[in-house]
Amino acid sequence: MSSKGIAIVKLAHNGDNRIVSGWEANDGDIPYQLSLRIVTIVGAVFTCGATIIHNEWGLTAAHCTVNRHNILIRAGGVSLSRPRLFFETTEYYNHPLYVGTMPFVQPHDISVIKFNRFVEYTPYIQPIRLQSSVDRNKNYDGVRLMASGWGRLWTDGPSPTILNWVYLRGVSNHFCWQSYGQSNIIVDSTICASGYNVITQSICQGDSGGPLVVEDVDGVLSQVGISSFLFGTGCNTESPAGFVRPGHYHDWITEVTGINLDWDPNARPSTTIAPEVPTTASPESEGESEGEDEGDETDIVKIKELAPVYYY
């Protein structure tokens, strides 16, 4: 199967955004979720998702932070207009193997953000446990996963201000590799997922850097993916979306932060506080979005015909 004509898209977008075919979250449902409003050195604005992994650190995708200047962080609420915590930072660390000068989808799309403060935990602000290094290559084929973010309702669609979440079904890396025309973007540190019970369920523009989580063996949520890329045909298709497995990067995260966030699911019961997956869902709202775009411009960087593209 040739990769000719296959496009892979990056999910960051210059505006407020939404998950595809998902549901609105309630306050406290997803307390580990962050919203990032990122400003470049030339003043362009992009939005991404992220997660809290420690009182002083967040986790997101490297393509969200590379060559950026200011990062405005919203935490502790599902509404972008009413966060419980709103602050700014300029300190982040992209994985050293992520090449910021190359504007196409690539592995190692992971970044840690240093908060400029100690973030106190509350019922609305909590960390998410990261996938263990033991499970870094685990096959999640057929497993129910959950993604969340302020990503668009469909490709280039409307943008709300309320955090959305959606169930996705994990697929094997081999299936994902075939779906993407045997692209070399699908590597061991990739995890892919598609619609759980509706083929249009997916992440979309603006969900980059947000979490993919699973209820782990001990009943606690673990983040098994960082939203990274989509098939070039758009968001609301049956093609799987791609995420980065944080379990592959514990050594690097420890090196940068000085904190060991790894754990062994076979060694001891977890004491990590993490929220439950929402068990109820409101019907998806229709009509016009409540959000306001930062601007109309969509930056699509195309490269060689056989190579992936990033899509903001």
Q: Which residues are catalytic?
A: 63, 109, 208
Report the Cα 182 to chain-centroid distance in Å. 23
Rounded to whole angstroms, the Cα distance separating 227 from 284 reads 21
Say if residues 38 and 45 touch (Cβ distance below 8 Å). yes
Element containing residue 39 per DSSP (H, E):
strand 33-40
Rounded to whole angstroms, the Cα distance separating 12 from 26 reads 24
**Both tokens assigned to 239:** 């093609």
Handedness of CA 147, 202, 22, 145 (dihedral sign): negative
Query: How is residue 131 annotated by DSSP?
Result: P
Residue 86 burial (CB < 10 Å; 0-12/13-18/19+)?
Answer: middle
Say if residues 243 and 193 touch (Cβ distance below 8 Å). yes
CB atoms within 10 A of CB 307: 17
Residue located via tokens 């969200």: 64
Say if residues 57 and 254 touch (Cβ distance below 8 Å). no
Query: How is residue 206 annotated by DSSP?
Result: T
Report the Cα 149 to chain-centroid distance in Å. 7
Alpha-carbon separation of residue 209 from 105, 110, 149, 289 (angstroms): 13, 8, 9, 22
